[in-house]
Amino acid sequence: MNFTEPMFASPIFADKTLLITGGGSGLGKAMATYFSQLGANVIISSRREDLLKEVAAEITSITGNKVLAVAADVRDHDAITDVIDQSLKAFGKIDGLINNAAGNFVSPTERLSHRAFESVIGIVLQGTINYTLALGKYWIEHKIPGNVLSIITTYAWTGTGYTVPSACAKAGVLALTRSLAVEWGRKYKIRLNAIAPGPFPTKGAWDRLFPESVRAMFDPSERIPMQRVGDKQELSNLAAYLMSDYANYINGEVVTIDGGEWLENGGQFNDFRHISDDMWDQLESMRKTKS
C-alpha cells in the first residue's frame, strides 16, 4: 500500500451526488474521478465547456457512472443557479459541494490593477460564497444535511507576498468555513471543512505560479520536510474521507496536506538543518569545555 493508491475499497458514495467546481482539470478532475469510482453521481462545472464534456466522458468511461458537465462562471449567480437546476433535473438531489475552482497568478502587488484583485477575489471568495449560499438554502429548504469542502492553501493563515489577492481570498474562504460550520452545523447539521494543500503539480498551478524560468530558481520540494510534492490521489483520498459520513464529527476543520511545508518555513530554528554533524560535535565540545 502507498499514498498513490485509492484508499477506499467500497463504493462509499453510492447514494450521493457531489458537485465539484473546477472539476475539469488538475485536483478537481482527480477528485471527480475518484468520487465517481466510489459510486457518486458527479457534476463538474467550470468555464471551458468543451474540456468539461471531454473530461465527463473520460471519467464515465473509467467508472461507468454518469458525470454531468455544465459550463458556468462561479462569479455569475444566474449561471450557477442553472448548474444547480440542471443537476437536480439529472440526479434528483445534491448532497455535497466541493469549492475547488480558483484563479491565481504571481506578481509584485504594486504592479496589480484593482481589476486583477477583483478577478481572483471574485473567483475564489465570491465564487465560493455563491455556491455555498445557493446550495445551503436548497439544503435548508429540503432538510438535507449537506456537506461542503473548500480547497484553500496554507497561506490562508500565514499570508504570503506575490500572490496577495489569492491569500486574501483563501483567508476569506477559511473564515466562511469556520463561521458557517457553527451556524449551519447547529441549526441544520450542514458540515463545512477545508483542505489546505501544499504544492501539487498541476498544469493550471504550475504554468501560472512556477513558470519554466522560475522553476529553475526554486524547487518547491526543497522547502518540504518530506522532500517531495503531493500526489493527486493522496489529496483525493483525504477529500473522499472528509466528504463521507465517516467524517460526520469533523466540522469547521482545515486539514493541511503539505508534507510539513508551512511549519518548516514558520519555525524559527528550522534552518539549523544546514548545520552538519561535525559542527554539532564542535558546538557540543565547546559547551562541555566551558562548563
CA gap 53, 34 in Å, rounded: 17
Neighbour order of strands in the sheet with 41-46: 67-71, 41-46, 17-21, 96-99, 147-151, 191-197, 254-257
Chosen residue from 89, 115, 143, 287 binding ligand HXC by CB under 6 A: 115
Q: Which does 107 bind (CB under 5 to 8 A by kind): ligand NAP, ligand HXC, none?
A: ligand HXC
Backbone angles phi, psi at 281, to 5 degrees: -60, -45
Closer to ligand NAP by Cβ: residue 22 or 165: 22
Nearer to ligand NAP, 39 or 258 (CB): 258
Q: Is 34 a catalytic residue?
A: no
Q: Choose from ligand HXC, ligand NAP, none: what does 115 bind? Cβ within 5-8 Å by kind.
A: ligand HXC
Least Å from the CB of residue 253 to ligand NAP = 16
Nearest distance in Å: CB 119, ligand HXC: 4
* Residue ranges binding ligand NAP (CB under 6 A): 21-22, 24-28, 46-48, 51, 73-75, 100-103, 123, 127, 151, 153, 197, 199-200, 202, 204-205
Tell me whether residue 218 or residue 280 sits nearer to ligand HXC (CB atom).
218
Q: x/- site string to ligand HXC, residues 194 to 233, per CB under 6 A? A: -----x----xx--xx------------------------
CA distance 261 to 225: 6
122, amino acid identity: G
Query: What is the three-class DSSP state of 129?
Result: helix
- Going by C-alpha positions, the residue among 212, 224, 220, 194 that lies closest to residue 102 is 194
Closest C-alpha to 73, from 119, 133, 18, 17: 119
Do 198 and 258 touch, CB atoms closer than 8 A? yes
Residue 160 sits in the site that holds ligand HXC (CB under 6 A): no
| 270 counts as binding ligand HXC under rule CB under 6 A | no
28 binds, among ligand NAP, ligand HXC, none (CB under 5 to 8 A by kind): ligand NAP
Grid coordinates given for 259: 508534507
Q: Which is nearer to ligand HXC, 146 or 165 (CB)?
A: 165
Binding flag, residue 165, ligand HXC (CB under 6 A): no
CB of 133 to ligand HXC, least distance (A): 21
Q: What is the DSSP letter of 21?
A: E
45 in Cβ contact with 16 (< 8 Å):
no
Considering the candidates 138, 155, 188, 241, report the single residue annotated as catalytic: 155
CB contact at 8 A, 173 and 99: yes
For the chain, the residue count is: 291
Contact 96, 149 (CB under 8 A): yes
164/169 Cα distance (integer angstroms): 9
User: Which residues of this chain interact with ligand HXC, rule CB under 6 A?
Assistant: 102-105, 107, 112-113, 115-116, 119-120, 153, 166, 199, 204-205, 208-209
Residues known to be catalytic: 155
